[in-house]
Chain A
Amino acid sequence: MNLLEIQKLSKQYEEKDVLKDINLSLKKGKTLGLIGPTGCGKTTLLRIIDLIETPSSGRIIFNGQEIPKTKEEQIKIRRKMGMVFQKPIVLKGTVYDNIGYGLKIRGKNKEFYHDEIKYLLDSLGLSGYEERDASTLSGGETQRMALARALVTDPELLLLDEPTANLDPQSTEKIEDFIGKLRGERKTTVIIATHNLIQGQHLSDEIAILNQKIFQIGEPEDVFRKPKNRFVAEFVGVKNVKKGISHIVEEGLALIDTGTITVYSSTALEGKVYLSIRPEDITISQSKVETSALNEFNGEIKEIKDSGGILDLKIDVGEVFSVFMTRKSFADMGLTIGSQVWLQFKASAVNVFEV
């Protein structure tokens, strides 16, 4: 069952579009990574979901119920959610006071939740911090306290807005581990906004690539391997993006003319398209070889970049392709700048998306 559904949601600030036509749904117990560059509207979307801000148009359905209009009714729904902001914020008082805030305003006695608070502090590496003045915590500690503060009321939906931005790697790791645990043990439904692709991919069941609108939503693997458009392709760091015109030659096979070369692809798209090939899907040989790969081109090595053990070769076959190679293979083949090589890749390795 969907815990959250968003339909045709838009938000404008002073006639400037911040979010456009957002549609998404999130199943109970799943984690959605909201990924996009800084200023893409992630925070605004989370604030709207948390009912801190109102959208300019569109619907939000929480647990099968459309968000009511009155503030009094909205509180009931907001109290089923928890949010951690990007900037660590502390309330005056001790760590215990901070974590107990959500309980206090719900009229619950903090003392009854003593074990829960202790459990959360222990799990977040803050054992024994109860009586510490919250304003003396470091950024990483504050952010972990903020997680405990949001979780102590056992929210159905946890919203995390760049929870590890500006934190040191150790704090980041602790928070990521904890979020991982949440997914596994508590089955909490989570939306995590991040500009960090690796983090989003690592922590989420599904990711949505956002930049005012959602460009693609799906399982991380799909989004990374098969970006549906140029924005996603560039954002996820896909290399070898070329523009061309596609026409179908037979069922399940298209020929794409880039102007300088023609590339076989298993796409069904026709007309103006972009194509991309992951560098690791391209093989190199020193002579023409008989393989099952439909695409084979001859070219010259123009540039060699060392990116930490793996070499990134730029090979000009009419179009310049980026190809990854281990240092050992490179040495074994005795290659250098100016060497003539053959490139092979399968038609199914050519991802095609609309212009």
Chain B
Amino acid sequence: MNEIINACFEAIHLLITLDPEVMEITLRTLYISLTSTVIAALIAVPLGGYIHFRKFRGKRTLVNIIQTLYSMPTVLVGLLVFLIISNQGPLGNLHLLFTPGGMIMGQTILVLPIITGFTILALSGVKDEIKDLSLALGASEFQAIETIMHEAKYALLGALILGFGRAISEVGVAMMIGGNIRGYTRVITTTMSLETSKGNVELSIALGIILLILALIINLVLNYVQEK
């Protein structure tokens, strides 16, 4: 018990003194996960919009598949991306394996379904009458879609935050694609995994606290946004 308490004090010390390694890992984690989320959002929001606004056969099945992919195991995505970007894979010549670029690619794939699915959900939450109203007030089809997006903006932001939450907290892709290389691809979750197995729990606890704080901030923002 004492060990845990001591480790907690040590962790707080690392945080207060802004330990360079802790800060570096945190910033890299934020960089990789934020970039993945932004890239995923650029693909997923228009894609979700397209699926929502178009009528086509198999739409329901497609939405079901997307929803199933929310719970895709991170190690499975890791494996998939590994096979694609390893030297023998189709994108092997890009040399993305064990680089932050490869991690970004993996996390992007991981959060794409969540953001797409929640974009569809966000847009379905806007009443059909909003489209009629904007058309009746003189909007073009495109302007009407813009208006619907605007009506759904808080729910859309919620979708992005959820995607970011999944990216920052996952370990499978980061470990398998990043390789946990110190000073290059090491992120919070992979560090915690490694340091705990080495018995260096102070660093793990410090990083765990940071991860929790980030999760708290995400939740606070989400709550604030949804209250609006």
Contact = CB atoms under 8 A, between A and B. Distances in A.
A134 to B, nearest CB: 12
Interface in B88-133: 127, 129-130, 132-133
B30 interface: no
Interface in B127-169: 127, 129-130, 132-141, 143, 147, 150-151, 153
A52 B137 contact: no
Contact of B129 (A79, A89, A101, A102): A89
Nearest to A79: B138
B133 A105 contact: no
A331 to B, nearest CB: 55
Contact of B135 (A72, A78, A87, A150): A78
A149 interface: yes
A92 B139 CA distance: 16
Contacts of A101: 134, 137, 147
Most buried by B among A52, A105, A159: A105
A18 to B, nearest CB: 17
A149 B133 CA distance: 10
Interface residues on B, range: 10 to 19
Contact of B138 (A71, A87, A91, A102): A102
B133 A89 contact: yes
Given A87-B129, A89-B129, A78 B136 contact: yes
A150 B134 CA distance: 11
B133 A102 contact: no
A83 interface: yes
B226 to A, nearest CB: 14
A89 B127 contact: yes
27 contacts: A47-B132, A50-B136, A52-B136, A71-B140, A75-B140, A78-B135, A78-B138, A79-B138, A82-B137, A83-B137, A85-B129, A85-B132, A85-B136, A89-B129, A91-B134, A91-B147, A91-B151, A92-B151, A101-B147, A102-B137, A105-B138, A105-B140, A105-B143, A149-B137, A150-B137, A153-B137, A153-B138
Given A81-B136, A102-B138, A105-B134, 17 more contacts: A50-B135, A71-B140, A72-B140, A75-B138, A78-B138, A79-B138, A83-B137, A85-B129, A87-B129, A89-B127, A89-B130, A89-B133, A91-B130, A91-B147, A101-B134, A101-B137, A150-B136
